[in-house]
């Protein structure tokens, strides 16, 4: 699985801590981690939590990522922004139990974490435990197991509901504030990572035009 990491500007100082915890947990399980920034608080491209959501929508709908890990101070803003995007089902994960239940019950494709609230001593260990619970084994099996079928049914209903209430991602890209879009894809490594992994030609070409413009 291709896992994308996106760090918001207020938490950019913790970028290396989060990235190290994610790779330590995910890579031994056979997943690939792609860090889309921010990398430091001094990065020229500054990502707000709203941009986190827009980037999440771009990466998941284009095929550049299978799963997105993001967050902000409380995790709430990034979660709301992510869930505003078509095809994105983002959960708020604070502890390993949240991670396990989100993976088994909701089986979404993104999580948002609070990197300021409660981020104290041994926080990196909590991050690693969360990521392990999220990415180890099969997801979507249900918990408790006897409710697996109804949970799968509800996921399908929610997916259908979101398809009705949201525009497709290419329409979003064409109609969203173009300055916001340009800022969201201005990261120093975005082009290298995105074009090496994205498979949707329509989204690829539109983003290429935005960057070139």
The domain in which residue 65 lies consists of: 2-212
Task: Please tell me the predicted confidence (pLDDT) of residue 212.
Answer: 86
38 close to 171: Cβ distance less than 8 angstroms: no
- Over its C-alpha atoms, the chain yields an Rg (Å, rounded) of 16
Q: How many domains does the chain have?
A: 1
Cis peptide bond N-terminal to 144, omega within 30:
yes
Question: What are the tens digits of pLDDT across the range 28-53?
Answer: 999 999 999 999 999 999 999 999 99
Question: What are the tens digits of pLDDT across the range 85-110?
Answer: 999 999 999 999 999 999 999 999 99
Mean pLDDT rounded to a whole number for the chain: 97
Task: Please tell me the predicted confidence (pLDDT) of residue 213.
Answer: 55
Residues 6+ apart with CB under 8 A from 28: none
Tell me the percentage of the chain whose pLDDT exceeds 90: 99
Check which CATH number belongs to the domain holding 33 and give it.
3.40.1400.10
Tell me the percentage of the chain whose pLDDT exceeds 70: 100
Span 195-212, mean pLDDT?
A: 96
pTM: 0.96
Q: Give the span between the Cα atoms of 129 and 118, in whole angstroms.
A: 15
Nearest to 106 by CA among 71, 79, 78: 79
Q: How big is the chain, counted in residues?
A: 213
At residue 29, the 3 state secondary structure works out as helix
Question: What are the tens digits of pLDDT across the range 107-162?
Answer: 999 999 999 999 999 999 999 999 999 999 999 999 999 999 999 999 999 999 99
């Amino acid at each position: 699985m291709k896992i994308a990491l996106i760090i918001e500007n207020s938490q950019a100082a913790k970028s290396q801590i989060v990235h190290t915890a994610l790779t330590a947990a995910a890579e031994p399980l056979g997943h690939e981690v792609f860090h889309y920034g921010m990398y430091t608080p001094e990065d020229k491209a500054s990502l707000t939590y709203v941009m986190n959501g827009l980037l999440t929508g771009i990466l998941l709908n284009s095929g550049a990522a299978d799963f997105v890990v993001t967050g902000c101070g409380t995790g709430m803003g990034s979660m709301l922004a992510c869930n505003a995007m078509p095809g994105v089902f983002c959960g708020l994960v604070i502890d390993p139990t949240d991670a396990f239940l989100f993976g088994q019950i909701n089986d979404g494709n993104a999580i948002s974490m609070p990197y300021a609230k409660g981020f104290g001593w041994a926080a990196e260990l909590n991050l690693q435990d969360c990521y392990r619970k999220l990415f180890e084994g099969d997801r979507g099996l249900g918990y408790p197991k006897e409710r697996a079928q109804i949970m799968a049914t509800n996921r399908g209903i929610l997916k259908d509901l979101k398809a009705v209430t949201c525009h497709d991602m290419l329409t979003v890209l064409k109609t969203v504030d173009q300055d916001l879009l340009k800022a969201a894809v201005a990261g120093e490594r975005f082009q290298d990572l995105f074009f090496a992994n994205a498979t949707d030609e329509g989204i690829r070409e539109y983003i290429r035009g935005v960057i070139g413009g």
